[in-house]
């Protein structure tokens, strides 16, 4: 890849992924229940080798993978991304035994992972989390709750971030690997605008021991931030995929639909809106690719680049999808229409994995630092 374009092999791979998402994964997604983990879909991602690619790909390939899947099947993209989000703490900080036990199951699509950081009082301010890890012999007991956890309560294991040292802020948090069948762990589903599997978790003195720790005690916040920093540019890629799908649908619609004596595309106000949609989508894509390429190269300033990519791409996707709905008219509001689906999907990425306002704060701190 140059600074401005993908090479032929990358373009071919993206086209193959789009087709695969639409033809093979789309029907599995349609057969699933909104708000629930779609295990046949996760299994298919494993059988097709996409989950293995998730863990072996660099940041740029991860972005190409997520954008291409999002274009053809947002549910498949989300299922793949959530496997990565829930498992990457295990990849970066797990022991050899932890990785050998769980990663093959995740890659094969047989085990579902979840990333349990957010709480009702600690969303954007993740360091304020209050789930307590209270000492109990040689281990701890987890007491409290988590909220807005993707794949909860259906996951097979959770990467759980809990406070092991009171009053220590980000320095007093430990990451734990908690199986779903651990005594005292229960959960419930949340009915969200986006059709994602999201729920809450309740911890009633859930036992964990040293063998469940990911990394080191009191240093789990860095595990969480490293995971989010890796996935932020690719959240932008997810958004770009949705924006491109909305843009292409709009180009097709405005080319065919007639009004006032000719196709909509001949109306300057329509053509200019489509041009703006296309320009912003391409700018978002380039910003995402630049952040991913910098991450792969180990360049400095990754936090700022990742935040910029996530910020701009998710805000752009919201604009593009909203404009696409407007240009399609009432048909785009019908349940089951592509744009009705994208309209519900596109809102959440501006909040999760660091809201737009958090990204601006990160960028400002980097600029003034």
Catalytic positions are: 353
Strand 157-163 versus strand 113-116 pairing type? parallel
Q: Which residues is 162 bridged to in the sheet? A: 174
Task: Give the Cβ contact number of residue 11 at 10 Å.
Answer: 12
Q: What is the dihedral of CA 62, 63, 69, 74, to 10 degrees?
A: 110
Handedness of CA 306, 311, 313, 314 (dihedral sign): positive
Do the beta carbons of residue 192 and residue 266 sit within 8 Å? no
Q: Which of 290, 298, 344, 307 is nearest to 322 (CA)?
A: 344
- Measure Cα distances from 70 to 17, 21, 34, 238, 246 in Å: 10, 8, 17, 6, 11
3-state secondary structure of 182: coil
Do the beta carbons of residue 149 and residue 199 sit within 8 Å? yes
Q: What does R_g of the chain's alpha carbons equal in angstroms?
A: 21
DSSP 33: P
Q: Which residues contact residue 341 at a Cβ distance below 8 angstroms, ignoring those fewer than 6 apart?
A: 74, 195
DSSP 143: E
């Amino acid at each position: 890849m140059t600074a401005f374009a993908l090479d032929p092999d990358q373009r071919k791979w993206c086209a193959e992924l789009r087709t695969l998402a639409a033809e093979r994964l789309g029907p599995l997604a349609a057969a699933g229940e909104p708000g629930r983990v779609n295990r046949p879909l996760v299994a298919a991602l494993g059988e097709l080798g996409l989950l293995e690619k998730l863990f072996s790909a660099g940041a740029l390939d991860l972005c190409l993978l997520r954008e291409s899947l999002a274009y053809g099947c947002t549910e498949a993209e989300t299922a793949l991304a959530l496997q990565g989000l829930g498992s990457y703490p295990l990849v970066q900080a797990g022991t050899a035994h932890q990785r050998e036990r769980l990663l093959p199951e995740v890659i094969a699509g047989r085990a579902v992972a979840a990333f349990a950081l957010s709480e009702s009082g600690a969303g954007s301010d993740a360091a304020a989390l209050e789930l307590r890890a209270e000492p109990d012999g040689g281990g701890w007991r987890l007491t409290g709750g988590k909220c807005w956890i993707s794949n909860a309560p259906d996951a097979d294991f959770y990467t759980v971030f809990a406070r092991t040292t009171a009053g220590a802020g980000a320095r007093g948090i430990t990451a734990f690997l908690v199986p779903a069948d651990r005594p005292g762990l229960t959960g419930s589903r949340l009915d969200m605008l986006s059709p994602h599997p999201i729920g809450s978790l309740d911890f009633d003195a859930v036992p964990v021991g040293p063998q469940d720790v990911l990394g080191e005690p009191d240093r789990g916040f860095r595990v969480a931030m490293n995971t989010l920093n890796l996935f932020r540019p690719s959240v932008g890629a997810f958004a770009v995929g949705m924006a491109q799908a909305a843009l292409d649908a709009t180009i097709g619609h405005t080319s065919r639909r007639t009004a006032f004596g000719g196709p909509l595309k001949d109306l300057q106000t329509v053509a200019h809106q489509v041009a703006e949609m296309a320009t912003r989508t391409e700018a978002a894509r380039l910003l995402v690719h630049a952040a991913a390429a910098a991450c792969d190269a180990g360049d400095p300033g990754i936090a700022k680049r990742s935040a910029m990519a996530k910020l701009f791409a998710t805000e752009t996707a919201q604009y593009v999808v909203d404009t696409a709905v407007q240009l399609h008219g009432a048909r785009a509001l019908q349940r089951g229409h592509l744009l009705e689906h994208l309209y519900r999907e596109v809102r959440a990425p501006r909040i999760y994995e660091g809201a737009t306002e958090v990204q601006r704060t990160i960028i400002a701190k980097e600029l003034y630092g």
